[in-house]
Amino acid sequence: MTSTDSTPAGGVDLEAVTQRVRDLSEQVVAQAKKNGLTFLEGYERVLKQMLDLEEQAAKGTGQDWATTLAATHANFVRESSEVFLGAVKNQLKS
């Protein structure tokens, strides 16, 4: 505690301490949201690159069934991750 947290009589100013804790908590929450958004954006980029690689590798086999399977899987993952990650982003932004 600092000298600003004490009363003239030498006691502790609970309101000042409470406000400092509240302010610190708000800062922690704000930074956690920012870090969470940064992580999600990075995860989305990595996921996109992995799915693109999966599709390119399947095309490289020259097998239609492999290309179709990889494209179907990639599209499913893209669509489901857009919904999930979009919901999480919206929660972090609020």
| 28 CB-contact burial (10 Å; exposed 0-12 / middle 13-18 / buried 19+) | exposed
**Contacts of residue 36, Cβ cutoff 8 Å, sequence gap at least 6:** 88, 92
CA distances from 70 to 8, 64, 86 (A): 72, 10, 23
Each residue's pLDDT tens digit, 48-87: 999 999 999 999 999 999 999 999 999 999 999 999 999 9
Question: Which has more confidence, 27 or 3?
Answer: 27
Reported confidence tier of residue 10, pLDDT bands at 50, 70, 90: low
Parse the chain into domains and list their residue ranges.
Answer: 14-93
pLDDT score of 13: 84
Reported confidence tier of residue 93, pLDDT bands at 50, 70, 90: confident
Mean per-residue pLDDT over the chain, rounded: 90
